[in-house]
Each structure stands twice: as C-alpha cells, then as structure tokens.
Amino acid sequence: MSDSFISSKPIPVRERLIMALDVSSIDEAQALVEELGDAVIFYKVGMELFMSGDYFGFIEWLKARNKKVFVDLKFFDIPATVGRAIKALSSKGVDLATIHGNDSIMEAAAQAKGDLKVLAVTALTSLDRGDLDDLGFQCDVKQLVLSRAKRALQIGCDGIVSSGLEVSMIREELGQKLLVITPGIRPVDNREDDDQKRAVSVEQAIQNGADYLVVGRPIRDAADRRAMAEKIQGQIAALFV
C-alpha cells in the first residue's frame, strides 16, 4: 500500500483516536474518561448514552475538561427537522456529528451546521453484502459508499463515516477533500460475538487514508484501558513520523 493515501490534514496526532463511549450510564462514561486521562482527547457519545441520562450535561462536562466531542446520533428525519437539530447541536460546542439520509437531508444539515462538522454515514460497518441485499441495495458495497461520499462532498458535508475497507477507494477518487472517520477498528482479531463485520486494523485504516479512528470495545474491555489507549496512540503516531 502506498503511503500517498495517509492523511495530510493538520490534525494533531493524538486527536486522531476517537474513543467510543458505548457504555450504559453517564456515571460509567465519566469514570472511563477519568481513568483514561490524557491518553484520549476525542470521545464519541452515541445513542446508548443519549438514552441513559443527562446527555448534554455530559457533553458540557467533557468540554470543560478540554475534550473534543463527536455526537453520533445519525440524524434521520424530514430535512427541516434534521436542519433544526443540527443548528441546535452546533451551539453546544460539539466538534463532529453524524447524519443519515438522502440529498435533501444532507443539504439541510450542511446549511445549518455553523462551525460543527457534519459527517454523512455511508454504509454501517455492521452490514455485509447479505444485509445490504435485505435492505434492497443491489449495488456493490464499495460503489454504494463511493456514491454517497461523492454526494456528501458535492452537497457540502465536511466528511463521511466509512469502513477502512473502502477508504483507499475514496481517497483515490476524491483525494483529501473529505474528512473520513473510520469505526470498527480492531487491534486484534475479531471475536465470534463481534457485530462489526467490516473491521480493519489501526495500521490498515491509516494507510488507507482515514483521518480519525473510532475505537470502542478494544479499549473499554481491556484489562488496562489506559495502556491499551496508549498502545493504539503509539500505533497511530508511528505512521505519521
């Protein structure tokens, strides 16, 4: 793999790791953040935490500790509603947020985002070819991802969420124009109960061109969480020397 796809964006290296706070309570999330300390700067807060308590109070708590915040709620509704939701979110100091949907939804979000960076979801990393067939998508997974990436760029979204398997294709077609956030990162082989079907390693995702890596379970479930986070930070940093 050529190094030409490695991100050239001026992102501090230690901010390229985004820790997914996929835990069941705000208290648990706060304890995890405190345990990780300066090993992690960027955090993803998703639907599980949204349903568990004072979600926006927790975002304020993170920002007060100089953390960056990725709101992963994958907004999908009529365009006007998504636009208003994004506008409201932009006033809360959030750095990244995800949306689903067609062109009109992306347009509404792009127009309302302010300083918030809006990411269009391409194809969830938990989906494989069989799942896409069930959903009625007859095209190849890679072509679906590329099509959505092109539309997101044309419409004015800041980036996309994409499996690391498709990032090199996106970079080859679109260069460094979009932010690419890659979930489903697995430093070790997937367990049988892992629902991420299109996962990649840290090195593969970065070499393919990902700007940010979202890592959850490998850190959350580690015996020494801070050590695991620092190990992944080291793997990322080694690729930007």
Would the pLDDT of 1 be above 90?
A: no
1 in a structural domain: no
Compute the half-sphere exposure of residue 143: CA atoms within 13 Å on the CB side of its CA: 6
Total domains present in the chain = 1
Residues annotated as catalytic are 74
**Residue 225 is part of a domain; what is its CATH number?**
3.20.20.70
pTM recorded for the entire structure: 0.89
- Does residue 131 register a pLDDT over 80? no
Kindly state whether residue 89 falls inside one of the protein's structural domains: yes
Using one digit for the tens of pLDDT, what is the confidence trace for 37-81? 999 999 999 999 999 989 999 999 999 999 999 999 999 999 999
pLDDT over 60 (residue 135): no
- 3: in domain: no
Range of the structural domain that residue 73 is part of = 13-238
State residue 188's pLDDT score.
54
3-state secondary structure the chain: CCHHHCCCCCCCHHHCEEEECCCCCHHHHHHHHHHHHHHCCEEEEEHHHHCCCCHHHHHHHHHHCCCEEEEEEEECCCHHHHHHHHHHHHCCCCCEEEECCCHHHHHHHHHHCCCCEEEEECCCCCCCHHHHHHCCCCCCHHHHHHHHHHHHHHHCCCEEECCHHHHHHHHHHHCCCCEEEECCECCCCCCCCCCCCCCECHHHHHHHCCCEEEECHHHHCCCCHHHHHHHHHHHHHHCCC
